[in-house]
Amino acid sequence: MPDADDLLIGLDPEQREVALALRGPVSVVAGAGTGKTRAITHRMAYGVATGVYKPTEVLAVTFTTKAANEMRVRLRALGAEGVQARTFHSAALRQARYFWPHVYGGEFPEVTQSKFSLVAEAMRRLGQRADTPLLRDLSSEIEWAKVSNIVPTAYAAAAGPARREVADLDPGQVANVLAAYEEVKRERGRIDMEDILLVTAAILADDERIAATVRQQYRWFVVDEFQDVNPLQSTLLDLWLGGRNDICVVGDPRQTIYSFAGASPRILASFARRHEGAQRIELVRNYRSTPQIVAAANAVFARAATTDDIRLQSQQEPGDPVSYIGYPDEPAEASAVASEIALLHRRGMPYREMAILFRINAQSEAFEEALGEHGIPYVMRGATGFFNRAEVRQAVTLLRGSARGGEAEGQHLVDDVRAILSAMGHTDEPPSGAGAVRDRWESLHAIVSMATDLAESDPDAGMTTLVADLDRRIEQAHAPEADGVTLATLHSAKGLEWDAVFCVGMHEGMMPSVHADTPEMVEEERRLFYVGITRARHDLMISWAATRKAGGRGNRQPTRFLDTLLPSGHAARQVSSQARQRKVAKCRVCNTVLAVADRKLGRCADCPATYDETLYEALRTWRKEQSTEQGKPAYVVFTDATLQAIAE
Ligand code: ATP
Ligand code: MG
Handedness of CA 345, 347, 349, 354 (dihedral sign): negative
Residue 354 φ/ψ, nearest 5 degrees: -130, 150
| Residue 376 reports pLDDT greater than 80 | yes
At 155 the pLDDT is: 87
Q: Which of 73, 222, 287 to mutate to test the pocket of ligand 1 (most atoms within 8 A of CB)?
A: 287
Reference 263, options 233, 295, 307; nearest CA is 233
Q: Residue whose CA is closest, atom 9 of ligand 1?
A: 35
DSSP string covering 110-161, please? EEES--HHHHHHHHHHTT----HHHHHHHHHHHHHHHHTT--HHHHHHHHGG
Q: Is the CB of 34 under 6 A from ligand 1?
A: yes
**Which of 82-91, 205-214, 237-246, 439-448 shows the lowest mean pLDDT across its residues?**
439-448
Q: How confident is the model at residue 205 (pLDDT cuts 50, 70, 90)?
A: very high
Q: Tell whether 53 and 180 lie within a shared domain.
A: no
Distance 33 CA to ligand 2 centre (A): 7
Determine the pLDDT at residue 637. Answer: 43
With respect to residue 613, please indicate whether it lies within any of the assigned structural domains.
yes
Domain end call among 255, 283, 311: 283
**Is pLDDT of 483 > 80?**
no
> Is pLDDT at 325 greater than 50 in this prediction?
yes
For the residues 268-294, what does the mean pLDDT come to? 93
Same domain, 398 and 374: no
Q: Which atom of ligand 1 is nearest to the CA of 12?
A: 27
- Domain housing 166: 112-188
Q: Answer yes or no: is the C-beta of 252 below 6 A from any ligand 1 atom.
A: yes
Residue 600 has pLDDT above 90, yes or no: no
Number of C-beta neighbours around residue 113 at 10 A: 8
Average pLDDT over residues 261-275: 89
Confidence of residue 633 (pLDDT cuts 50, 70, 90): very low
**229 shares a domain with 177:** no
**Residue that wins the pLDDT comparison between 213 and 579:** 213
Of 250, 253, 252, the closest CA to residue 41 belongs to 250
Given the CA of residue 286, which atom of ligand 1 is nearest to it? Answer: 16
Which positions ≥6 away from 184 have C-beta within 8 Å?
A: 118, 121, 122, 125
- Give the position, in ligand 1's atom list, of the atom nearest the Cα of 30: 6
Residues within 5 A (CB) of ion ligand 2:
36-37, 495
Closest CA to 126 of 182, 194, 164: 182
Last residue of one domain, picked from the residues 235, 260, 283: 283
Q: What is the pLDDT of residues 347-358, one digit of tens each?
A: 889 998 999 999
* Claim to verify: residue 399 and residue 376 sit in the same structural domain: no
3-state helix, strand, coil in the chain (%, to 5): 50, 15, 35
Contact 296, 633 (CB under 8 A): yes
Ligand 1 atom closest to 287 (CA): 16
Q: Which residues are annotated as a binding site for ATP?
A: 30-37
Q: Cα–chain-centroid distance for residue 635?
A: 26
pLDDT at 3: 83
Within a domain: 609: yes
Alpha carbons 466 and 450: distance in angstroms, whole number: 8
Residue 378 CA neighbour count, 13 Å, CB half: 32
Q: Is 33 in the pocket of ligand 1 (CB under 6 A)?
A: yes
- What's the mean pLDDT in 211-217? 95
Model confidence band, residue 575 (pLDDT cutoffs 50, 70, 90): very low
Beta 323-329 vs 285-286: how paired, if at all? Answer: unpaired
In angstroms, the CA 279 to CA 300 distance is 29
Predicted pLDDT at 256: 93
How far, in Å, from the CA of 50 to the mean position of ligand 2?
A: 24
Residues 494 and 350 in one domain: yes
User: Is any atom of ligand 1 closer than 6 Å to the C-beta of 251?
Assistant: no
Instruction: Output the DSSP codes for 543-563.
Output: EEEEESSTT----PPBPGGGT
- Ligand 1 atom with least separation from CA of 11: 27
Q: CA-to-CA distance for 563 and 572, rounded, in angstroms?
A: 11
Distance in angstroms (rounded) separating the CA atoms of residues 85 and 75: 9
> Residue 156's pLDDT band (boundaries 50, 70, 90)?
confident
**Containing H/E element for 581?**
helix 570-581
What confidence category does residue 547 fall into, taking pLDDT thresholds of 50, 70 and 90?
confident
* Band of pLDDT at residue 213, cut at 50, 70 and 90: very high
Kindly give the distance from the C-alpha atom of residue 630 to the centroid of ligand 1, in angstroms, as a whole number. Answer: 22
Q: Whose CA is nearest to atom 21 of ligand 1?
A: 287
CB of 495 within 6 A of ligand 1: the answer is: yes
Residue 627 phi, psi dihedral angles, 5° rounding: -80, 120
Nearest listed ligand to the Cα of residue 493: 1
pLDDT above 60 (res 629): no
More confident residue, 349 or 132: 349
- 267: helix, coil or strand? helix
Strand pairing category for 498-503 and 485-489: unpaired
Residues 6+ apart with CB under 8 A from 330: 366, 505, 545, 547, 548, 549
Q: How far apart are CA 486 and CA 484, in angstroms?
A: 6
Report the alpha-carbon distance of residue 42 to residue 535 in Å, rounded. Answer: 21
* Position 640 confidence tier, pLDDT thresholds 50, 70, 90: very low
| Res 180 pLDDT > 70 | yes
Tell me, using a 6 A CB cutoff, whether residue 639 lines ligand 1. Answer: no
Average pLDDT over residues 427-447: 78
pLDDT computed for residue 179 by the predictor: 95
Residue 100 phi/psi, 5° resolution?
-50, -55
- CA atoms within 13 A of residue 334's CA, in its CB half-sphere: 25
CB of 389 closer than 6 A to ligand 1?
A: no
Secondary structure (3-state) at 79: coil
Angle at 76 between CA 73 and CA 81, to 5 degrees: 125
In a domain, 289, yes or no: no
What percentage of the chain has pLDDT greater than the value 90? 41
* Closest ligand to the CA of 499: 1
Q: What is the pLDDT of residue 409?
A: 57
Ligand 1 centre from 297 Cα, in Å? 16
Asked if omega into 171 is within 30° of 0 (cis), the reply is no
* CA 184 to centroid of ligand 1, rounded, Å: 46
240-261 average pLDDT score? 93
pLDDT in tens, 72-110: 889 999 999 899 999 999 899 999 999 999 999 988 888
Domain identity same for 205 and 352: no
- Which one is predicted more confidently, 174 or 575? 174
Cβ(108) – ligand 1 distance below 6 Å: no
* Torsion sign over Cα 534, 269, 525, 389: positive
Q: How far is CA 255 from CA 229, 258, 437, 587, in A?
A: 12, 9, 24, 41
Give a yes or no: residue 104 inside a domain.
no
pLDDT interval class at 628 (50, 70, 90): very low
Ligand 1 atom 19 nearest Cα: 35
> What spacing in Å lies between the alpha carbon of 14 and ligand 1's midpoint?
13
pLDDT band per the 50, 70, 90 thresholds, residue 290:
very high
Residue 594 confidence (pLDDT) above 80: no
CATH number, domain of 501, equals 3.40.50.300
The span from the CA of 560 to the CA of 479, in Å, is 36
Please tell me whether the overall predicted TM-score, pTM, comes out greater than 0.80 for this model: no
**Are 634 and 513 contained in the same domain?**
yes
In a domain, 312, yes or no: no
Last residue of a domain, one of 143, 171, 188: 188
Residue 313: inside a domain: no
pLDDT of residue 417: 93
Of 29, 34, 38, the residue with max ligand 1 atoms within 8 A of its CB, to mutate for a pocket test, comes to 38
CA of 569 to the centre of ligand 2 (A): 36
Cis bond upstream, residue 265 (ω within 30) = no
Q: Which ligand is nearest to the CA of 494?
A: 1
Indicate whether residue 224 lines ligand 1 (CB < 6 A): no
Looking at the fold, whether 179 and 153 belong to one and the same domain comes out as yes
Let me know whether 375 and 395 are in one domain. Answer: no
Does residue 586 sit in the same domain as residue 629? yes
How large is the average pLDDT for residues 371-381? 81
The total of structural domains in the chain comes to: 4
Could you tell me if 522 and 627 lie in one domain?
Answer: yes
Flag the least confident range among 15-24, 92-101, 194-203, 324-333.
324-333
Q: What is the DSSP string of 300-351?
A: HTTTSS-------EE-SPP-PPPEEEEEEEHHHHHHHHHHHHHHHHHTT--G
- The pLDDT, as a whole number, for residue 95 is 93
Angle at the Cα of 105 from the Cα atoms of 99 and 106, rounded to 5 degrees: 105
Residues 491 and 625 grouped into a single domain = yes
* pLDDT bucket at 456, cuts 50 / 70 / 90: confident
Nearest CA, atom 24, ligand 1: 35
Q: What is the per-residue pLDDT for 252?
A: 94
Mean pLDDT rounded to a whole number for the chain: 82
Whether the CA torsion 554, 555, 560, 565 is positive or negative: it is positive
Nearest protein CA to atom 2 of ligand 1, as residue = 32
Q: What is the DSSP letter of 107?
A: P
Q: Is residue 299 part of a domain?
A: no
pLDDT of residue 617: 61
The residue-averaged pLDDT of 53-58 equals 96
Question: Rounded to 5 degrees, what angle do the CA atoms 39, 43, 44 make?
Answer: 125
Binding residues are 30-37
pLDDT score of 163:
65
- Specify the pLDDT at position 609: 43
Per-residue pLDDT at 410? 57
Query: Does residue 204 line the site of ligand 1, with CB under 6 A?
Result: no
Average the pLDDT over each of 52-61, 523-532, 548-557 and give the range with the smallest value. 548-557
306 part of a folded domain:
no
